Amino acid sequence: MGFFVPGHSIENLRHYKYQSEDRSIITKIFLKPFWNTFVQVFPKWMAPNLVTLSGLGFILINLIVTLYYDPQLKSEMPRWVYLFNAIGLFLYQTFDGCDGVHARRTGQSGPLGELFDHSIDAINTTLSAYIFCSAIGTGYGYKMIYSQFAVLTNFYLSTWEEYHTHVLFLSEISGPVEGILAICLAYLATAIFGPDIIWRTTLTTFKINGQQYIFKTTDFLLVTFTLGLILNCYFARRNVTDHYRKEKSSSNMDIAIKEAMKGLLPYILYVISVIIIVTVEKRFIGFSFVLSIGSTVAFFVGRIIVSHLTKQSYPMFNISMFIPLSQLISYLIAINFTAEHSTDSIIEALSWLGCGLSLGIYALFLNEIIYEFTNYLDVYALTIKHPKFI
C-alpha cells in the first residue's frame, strides 16, 4: 500500500456512503431538472469521471484563449472572449452537475467518483481565477492573490467541514451553484457592455488622512468576497460545532471541537507564509506563483478528502506548505550573497521551482491515490470496467 493510504485504511472504502445537503433553490427548481435532461447527451458506456474531466476541458480552453489575448491579466480582450468564457464556465458547471447523475444511471457511484469530482473542482478553482482576474483587470498583484485565496479558503472550509460532519453542505447561496452562475452573468455583461463599464466604474471617492481613494466596482466585488468569506467561515464552524454537540457527550464535546479547529492551522500558516513572501517581494506574484498556490491547496484538500473516505486522522502536515517559506529564504540568501544574477531572474527561477515542486507533489499524490483506489475497488478511472446500467 502507498504512503497516503496505508493498508489498514483502504479497506474503509467499502463503508463509503455519500451524504449531501443541498439547500439551493436554484438547483432544486432549475438546475436539477436541466441536468436530468442534459445527462442523456452522455452515452452509457462513458465513465462518469470522464464526464467530470471533460468539463475541466472547457476551462482549459477558456484559459488558453484568455492568456493568448491577455497574458498579463489587465488588458481588454475582444468581446467574444468574455462570452466564450461564460459559455465555458456554464458548461463546466453542467458537466460537474451531471457526473453524479450519470454515475447513478450507469451504476458507477463510489468513493473514486467523489475524489475525482473534488480534485477537478480544486484544479478548476485556480484555473478559473486567471480568467476571472483578467475580466476584472487585476493583473498579477495583491488583488489577484486575495481573490484566489477568497475562493480557495471557501473550498478548504467546505472540505474541512465535510471531513468532520461527513456531509457536504451547500447552503441557499453557494459558490458551486449561485457563485458560478453569477460569474457567468458577469462575463455576459462584460461581453455586452465592456470591462470598463462593468468593472472600472467609479462608485465613490473618499479621503483618509488627506489621501484620496477611488472605490470602483472591482473594489465592491472584493468587499462582497470578504463578506461571503466571513459568512462561510461562520457557517462552516457552526455546522462542525453542532455536529459534535449531537455526536459527543458533554465531557468529550469540547475536546472534539478543539481538535477540529486545529485542522485549520496548516492552511492558516500557509496563507501567512504566502502573505509574507509577497509582502517582502511583490514581483513573486506571477503565473507560476499563482499556479503553485493552487496546486498546493488542491493537495491539501485532496488529502483531507482521502482521509475522509478512508477514515484516517486529519492530515495536519503537508510538505507543500513549506514551499513559500523555502522560496523566501532562498531569495534572501541569493540577493544578499550572490551577485551573478539579477533580482528578476532569481525571482523567476524560484517561482518556477516552487511551481514545479508543488505540481510534482500533487501529481505524485493523484497518481498513487488513483492507483490504490482503482486496484482495491476493481474499477477503472476513466472507463467502465463492470457495466451496471440502471
Comparing 148-157, 252-261, 300-309, which segment has the lowest mean pLDDT? Answer: 252-261
Distance CA 315, CA 309 (A): 13
Which bin fits 244, alpha (ψ -120 to 50), beta or left (φ > 0)? alpha
Mean pLDDT along residues 301-310: 93
Return the number of other C-beta atoms located less than 10 Å from residue 335's C-beta: 15
Contact 335, 346 (CB under 8 A): yes
Q: Among positive and negative, which fits the CA dihedral 224, 197, 26, 54?
A: negative
49-88, pLDDT tens digit by residue? 999 999 999 999 999 999 999 999 999 999 999 999 999 9
Confidence of residue 15 (pLDDT cuts 50, 70, 90): confident
- Domains of the chain from N-terminus onward: 7-377 (1.20.120.1760)
pLDDT at 363 over 70: yes
pTM above 0.95, yes or no: no
Q: Rounded mean pLDDT of 201-217?
A: 82
Half-sphere exposure of 336 (CA within 13 A, CB side): 6
Q: pLDDT value at position 251?
A: 64
Looking at per-residue confidence, does 155 or 173 come out higher? Answer: 155
β-sheet bridge partners, residue 383: 46
Tens digits of residue pLDDT in 128-160: 999 999 999 999 999 999 999 999 999 999 999
Contact (CB, 8 A) for 199 and 139: no
Q: Which is nearest to 221 in space by CA: 121, 110, 137? A: 137
Whether the CB-CB separation of 173 and 27 falls below 8 Å is answered with: no
**209 in the Ramachandran plot: left (φ > 0), alpha (ψ -120 to 50) or beta?**
left
Pick from 85-89, 227-231, 334-338 the range whose average pLDDT is largest: 85-89
Q: Which secondary-structure segment (H or E) carries 330?
A: helix 323-337
Using CA atoms, how far apart are residues 111 and 109, in angstroms rounded to an integer? 7
Write the burial class of residue 12 (CB in 10 Å: 0-12 exposed, 13-18 middle, 19+ buried).
middle
The amino acid present at 306, given as its one-letter code, is: V
**DSSP class of 381:** S
Report which of 229, 178, 181, 166 is spatially closest to residue 23, judged by C-alpha positions: 178
pLDDT at 344 over 60: yes
Cell 492568456 belongs to 67
Report the pLDDT averaged over residues 225-232: 86
Band (248; pLDDT cuts 50, 70, 90): low
Residue 144: all three cell numbers together:
489577484
390, pLDDT greater than 60: no
Do 369 and 115 meet the contact criterion of CB atoms below 8 Å apart? yes
pLDDT band at residue 186 using 50, 70 and 90 as cut-offs = very high
Q: Can you give the pLDDT at residue 269?
A: 95
C-alpha cell at 202: 467609479
Whole-number Å distance between alpha carbons of 137 and 200: 9
- What value does the mean pLDDT take over residues 341-353? 91
DSSP state of 77: -
Q: Can you tell me the mean pLDDT for 365-389?
A: 88
Burial of 374 (0-12, 13-18, 19+ CB in 10 A): middle
Give the pLDDT score at 212.
Answer: 80
Rounded Cα gap, residues 238 and 359, in angstroms? 33
On average, the pLDDT of the chain sits at: 90
* pLDDT > 70: percent of the chain: 98
